[in-house]
Amino acid sequence: VITVTDIWRDKLLKRVNHGIKCTTILNVPDEDIFKLSLARKPRPENGCNLFYHGSFEEHFGVDTLIKAMVLVRKQIPNVKLNLYGGGRLYEPMMNLSKELGLDDCVHFNGGVPFFELPEILKKADIGVVPTKASVFSDEALSMKSLEYMTLGIPIVISKTTAHNYYYNDS
């Protein structure tokens, strides 16, 4: 049996401990596309560029991220949140941003081809992974986090069960 997290492997072994072999193979970024870039340099003197890329669905927490920007922009002058992706909640998230008066700091860029992401993400000072701890996503490891780290981009990430399992505060 192959699982994608050690958490799920451990649960499977507890439920079906009949001598089965169970291996974890993490879903990881494609190394031919996502490479550490020495050209990427944070530019905090020009403000701070936060990035989120991926689906706009409830369990990914984009709404939480947008709501947090009201407080973040009070603390960080010239902060920008760059959102890339699409999904069922894309338009409602645009409306939420507008309702909160965030047009000056939250930028919706739509979807882009996967292979273009590394070049786009070079502009990120911080990648944000606001995953909600829902039944669907609490034990899933975010691919976004691995992509940001592979590119050498620091992350701010939710404390879900999976994220706590694989990452510490450093």
Confidence of residue 104 (pLDDT cuts 50, 70, 90): very high
Mean pLDDT along residues 25-42: 81
| C-alpha distance from residue 101 to each of 66, 95, 96, 98, 111 (Å) | 11, 10, 9, 5, 23
What integer pLDDT is reported at residue 95 of this predicted model? 98
- Mean pLDDT (the chain) is 91
Give the predicted TM-score (pTM) of the model: 0.89
pLDDT value of residue 79: 96
The identity of residue 13, as a single letter, is: L
Q: Which 3-state string (H, E, C) describes 38-64?
A: CCCCCCHHHCEEEEEEEECCHHHCHHH
Higher model confidence: residue 36 or residue 127? 127
| Residue 77 confidence (pLDDT) above 90 | no
**44 pLDDT higher than 90:** no
For residue 153, give both structure tokens.
């981009």
Average pLDDT over residues 99-103: 97
Name every residue whose Cβ is closer than 8 Å to that of residue 122 and which is 6 or more positions away in sequence. 37, 39, 40, 151
For 39-59, what is the mean pLDDT?
A: 82
